[in-house]
Amino acid sequence: RKEVEQDPGPFNVPEGATVAFNCTYSNSASQSFFWYRQDCRKEPKLLMSVYSSGNEDGRFTAQLNRASQYISLLIRDSKLSDSATYLCVVIGMFSGGYNKLIFGAGTRLAVHP
Amino acid sequence: NAGVMQNPRHLVRRRGQEARLRCSPMKGHSHVYWYRQLPEEGLKFMVYLQKENIIDESGMPKERFSAEFPKEGPSILRIQQVVRGDSAAYFCASSPIGHSNTEAFFGQGTRLTVV
């Protein structure tokens, strides 16, 4: 089983739609969670952190379910500019006693007019 | 505070040559990650380094690839005797030491083309 798994998509949605992505992780000791966004041929950039209580930033809402070991990202009122690949990132303590960032393979979103 | 700096941005090598990719982390960051991304694919973890120490190289191919992060200077990803399949974007990310809840910041990547 992969350490972090995401549906690769693509998700093709019209402008204004609401779309949700899920990401599952295998290490129950994982401590921190993030969503990154990667535009075509660019570097990944932090979109938002994911807190235990859930958090919202404008049209974006992130949630964490520790019991089921998944995080989610909800995008409301999709814009054309939201078209990108969304990467789930997990930080956890691994054998050897170090923290390590693990990236999911990403979910591709395409918003069309 | 400058971000993560990678150079060169683009690198063209002939088959059999060596490629050296450099990454200078953000100021105050002492942990560096290297990732490879093939066209139309996701990021693939290669190696995780601390200054003067390789923490995890489980994603590195066993041959031709090596990485270092010396006490002074940038982290270097070295690919010997490059082949066409090495053509990809190589991203470096850095994070502060000892912070388990801090995100990593990426450089703009080096696009390696092997001809």
Per-residue pLDDT tens digits for A19-64: 999 999 988 888 889 999 999 889 999 999 998 888 999 999 999 9
Confidence of residue B1 (pLDDT cuts 50, 70, 90): low
Query: Does residue A9 or residue A45 have the better pLDDT?
Result: A45
Interface contact A100-B89, CB threshold 8 A: no
Chain B: nearest CA to A32, how far in angstroms? 5
Interface contact B42-A89, CB threshold 8 A: no
A104: pLDDT strictly greater than 80: yes
Which residues in chain B are closer than 8 Å to A105, comparing Cβ atoms?
41-43
B100: pLDDT strictly greater than 60: no
Using alpha carbons, list the distances in angstroms from residue B66 to B5, B88, B106.
19, 16, 20
B32: pLDDT strictly greater than 60: yes
What's the whole-number mean pLDDT along residues A67-92? Answer: 94
Interface contact B89-A89, CB threshold 8 A: no
Interface contact B100-A89, CB threshold 8 A: no
Residue B37's nearest CA partner among B4, B20, B59 is B59
